[in-house]
């Protein structure tokens, strides 16, 4: 047995327990790539060391409320990721959520040694990321934060929402289930009281938002359950051929259109997609490469592209 490896794993398990209210042995086993039996032994070792752990096999483990160890020493790699994390958060979350994150990060930085603080500052000054303001509505800077609160506290959210097919915002009373990032946008799944069903919304289309004190009226399943239902929607198999020298330009966005696989030949790349929206989304994306690419199947896509081309006015 590698004693050092086991010691490091046990310490890491402790930090997992300190960071979360409940941790399942199955999740720990998958994370550390060991058996659940090994995790049970590691938990037992922590208990024997005096760490007050409650729970049992099959349900989950947690630390007794209020138990904490003093802040640990960070490695150089962990310290440098703090600066990277702050830059990434500034780009990918709304201003209100970034403000909270930055405040929390400053509390962590307070424990760093002077030399480590200098390293973080140096990296921050030399790491630039372009802004993507279209991800959020600038008039609603706290949308993401409010949705997170709604999810965590099981509270109803009121919002004025403008869909892609409407000009005037519509009032929605929702119970947010979860938030996810896909493509270039943030989305969230929620139970809509108006529709009496679960709906997917895009955060940048929120015009107004308010967290209420009203509790949820339903018990919702995890976000993954509803996303899996979305993924089970019917798809169309699409195959296109692209010259080798142009195929790389499609790599950045092809996953958004259901990319499955590719076959590389001497002169071209044959890509296969399982697309949910061939008529509008895929056909319009394909037009950017239509002068070099070739549609192999289906015939319906060829006709749709011809139709779009015939409607172009120059």
Ranking 84-88, 141-145, 295-299 by mean pLDDT, the lowest is 84-88
The answer on pLDDT for 69 being more than 70 is: no
The answer on pLDDT for 151 being more than 90 is: yes
pLDDT at 10: 86
Tokens in use for 141? 């800077």
CB 125 within 8 A of CB 195: no
- Over the stretch 168-219, which tens digit does the pLDDT of each residue have? 999 999 999 999 988 778 899 999 999 999 999 999 999 999 999 999 999 9
Q: Which of 170, 89, 173, 71 is nearest to 129 (CA)?
A: 89
Tokens in use for 175? 């119970």
What is the per-residue DSSP string for 230-285?
Answer: HHTS--EEEEEEEEHHHHGGGTTTGGGGTEEEEEE-SSEEEEEEEES-IIIIIHHH
Mean pLDDT confidence for 40-49 = 87
> What is 3-63's CATH topology?
Arc Repressor Mutant, subunit A (1.10.10)
What 3-state DSSP class applies to 68?
Answer: coil
pLDDT at 119: 83
Tokens in use for 160? 């004025």
Locate the domains of the chain by residue range: 3-63, 76-125, 143-230, 236-310
pLDDT at 1: 55
- Over the stretch 252-272, which tens digit does the pLDDT of each residue have? 889 889 899 999 999 999 999
What CA–CA distance (Å, rounded) separates 145 from 100?
9
Specify whether domain 143-230 bears CATH 2.30.30. Answer: yes
Tokens in use for 255? 């996953």
Position 297 confidence tier, pLDDT thresholds 50, 70, 90 = very high
pLDDT at 71: 61
> What is 236-310's CATH topology?
Alpha-Beta Plaits (3.30.70)
What CA–CA distance (Å, rounded) separates 29 from 172?
41
């Amino acid at each position: 047995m590698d004693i050092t490896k086991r010691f490091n794993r046990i310490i890491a398990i402790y930090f997992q327990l300190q960071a979360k209210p409940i941790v399942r042995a199955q999740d720990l086993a998958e994370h550390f790539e060991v058996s659940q039996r090994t995790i049970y032994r590691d938990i037992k070792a922590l208990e024997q060391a005096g760490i007050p752990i409650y729970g049992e096999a099959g349900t989950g483990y947690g630390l007794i409320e209020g138990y904490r160890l003093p802040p640990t020493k960070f490695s150089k790699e962990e310290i440098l990721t703090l600066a990277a994390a702050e830059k990434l958060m500034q780009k990918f979350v709304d201003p209100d959520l970034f403000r909270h994150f930055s405040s929390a990060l400053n509390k962590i930085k307070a424990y760093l040694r002077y030399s480590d603080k200098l390293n973080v500052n140096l990296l921050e000054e030399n790491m630039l990321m372009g802004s993507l303001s279209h991800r959020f509505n600038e008039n609603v800077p706290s949308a993401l934060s409010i949705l997170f609160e709604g999810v965590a506290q099981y509270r109803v959210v009121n919002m004025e929402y403008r869909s892609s097919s409407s000009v005037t915002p519509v009032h929605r009373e929702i119970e947010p289930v979860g938030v996810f990032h896909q493509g270039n946008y943030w989305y969230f799944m929620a139970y809509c009281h108006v529709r009496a069903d679960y709906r997917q919304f895009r955060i940048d289309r929120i015009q107004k938002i308010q967290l209420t004190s009203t509790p949820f009226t339903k018990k919702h399943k995890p976000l993954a359950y509803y996303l899996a239902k979305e993924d089970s929607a019917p798809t169309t198999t699409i195959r296109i051929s692209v010259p080798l020298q142009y195929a790389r330009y499609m790599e950045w966005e092809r996953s958004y259109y259901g990319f499955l696989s590719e076959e590389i030949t001497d002169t071209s790349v044959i890509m296969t997609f399982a697309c949910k929206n061939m008529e509008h989304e895929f056909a319009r994306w394909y037009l950017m490469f239509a002068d070099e690419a070739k549609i192999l199947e289906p015939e319906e896509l060829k006709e749709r592209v011809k139709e779009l081309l015939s409607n172009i006015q120059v």
